[in-house]
Amino acid sequence: MKELRVGIFGLGRGGAFVGNSINNGGKIVAFCEKREDQLFGLKEMYGEDTGVYTDFDEFIHHPGLDVVFIANFFNEHAACAIKALELGINVISECLSNVTMAEAVALVRAQQKSSALYQMLENYPYNVDTQEIARVYKNGTLGKALYCEGEYNHSIAKNGPANETNYMRKYHEHWRNHTPRTYYITHSIGPLMYITGATPKKVSAMPVYYPEGDDMFGPDVRDRAAIITTLNDDDSVFRVTGCSGFGGDCSGWRICCDKGQMETVRGSERHVALHYSKAFVPEGLEEHNTYKAVWNDPDEEKIKVASHEGSDFIAVRDCFDAIRGIKEPVFDVYRATTMSSVAILGHRSILNGCIPYDIPDFHNEEDLKKYENDHDTPFYDSFGGKPTIPASSR
């Protein structure tokens, strides 16, 4: 196994990838974090040759980098990823690849010119229950996916712990105060794309407007959810919520096929429910089956000690395997920008009477040209940019 020399940008979320990189044959050679207090002791822990930076442009020129994790602010990944690709450094971006359509075009073009590989790391497909659904679907007993649901629900109530709320959104311009409900979409739609292999081609969305309270995404986001529907390249349909703020912090995924259906069981310890049409019950199973998902993985011991209930380890493993040429990337630049387009154009649908939008094919130069100057954004950024569109439906 080739050792990969790894740099990590952003030690909040990015800190979770240190151990997972090492356990997948990586060597941490550089860190970058603007909060200097987060960098203390890293040279003593990882060696005097370890690069420790507060400036990304200096960090990205650290000698011998094979791959960088981009784990800075949610709305500022694309520019950093492009700089790395231009230097021939492989990129693993921790969340949404881009927050404007123009960024999607620039990122695709950078990938097309680069010798390195861009990947988006989305960890929810690697939960033990979603892995079990993927395993059953791949075996073929459910048939073809026709309709799928994904809901990621995560609210922080006004009367919740003040320190948690303040940590999540520290000041008015912070990205969490301006994130439309469609934009934080990777946890709801990522597992569906992973399990079925389907690619969204058309999107429309409706808001769930509720102005009361003060939840995770702050006072400028008055929608509690976005109900997003996509029509996919295999004629299946997805219904997802982006990040919803309903009461009760639980999430779930459901795959409905022509021979049966399978879903996660909300509020359980990673149980799944598997149902078959009577005419298609496989030998050894019942028409209705509910059971606890278990790891069927040779790296189970490493998974059990990894962050996010083990999902981060497998996500990093898949990304490293793609860089090493062992397998195809799960969320390459085209699937990542497609997912981001569902988020961006889904919100645009909400702002324009819930009309449908075609998802561009970023392999197609005509589609790239169509969006290369589309810079509309609901965010402030660290470079002086301000919102050009509202974050809520009203």
Taking alpha carbons only, the member of 217, 95, 209 closest to residue 156 is 217
Residues with Cβ within 8 Å of residue 19, at least 6 apart in sequence? 306, 307
pLDDT at 203: 98
pLDDT at 164: 53
97's tokens: 């690849």
pLDDT at 209: 93
pLDDT at 213: 64
pLDDT at 255: 98
Taking the domains of the chain in order of start, what are their residue ranges?
124-308+352-362
Cα of 381 vs its chain's centroid, Å: 20
Dist CA 164 CA 317 (whole Å): 31
CB burial string 223-248: b at 16+ within 10 A, e below: bbbbbbbbbbeeebbbbbbbbbbbee
Residues with Cβ within 8 Å of residue 262, at least 6 apart in sequence? 133, 136, 137, 142, 254, 255, 272, 273, 274, 275
Dist CA 322 CA 316 (whole Å): 10
Find where tokens 């979409």 sit: 185
pLDDT at 195: 98
Q: Tell me: the pLDDT tens digits for 71-99?
A: 999 999 999 999 999 999 999 999 899 99
pTM > 0.85: yes or no? yes
pLDDT along the chain (394 residues), means of 10: 93 91 96 88 88 95 97 95 98 96 98 98 96 97 98 70 59 89 96 98 96 66 93 98 86 97 92 98 96 94 93 97 97 98 98 98 97 97 90 94
Domain spanning 124-308+352-362, CATH class: alpha beta
pLDDT at 172: 84
375's tokens: 């810079």
Cα of 356 vs its chain's centroid, Å: 23
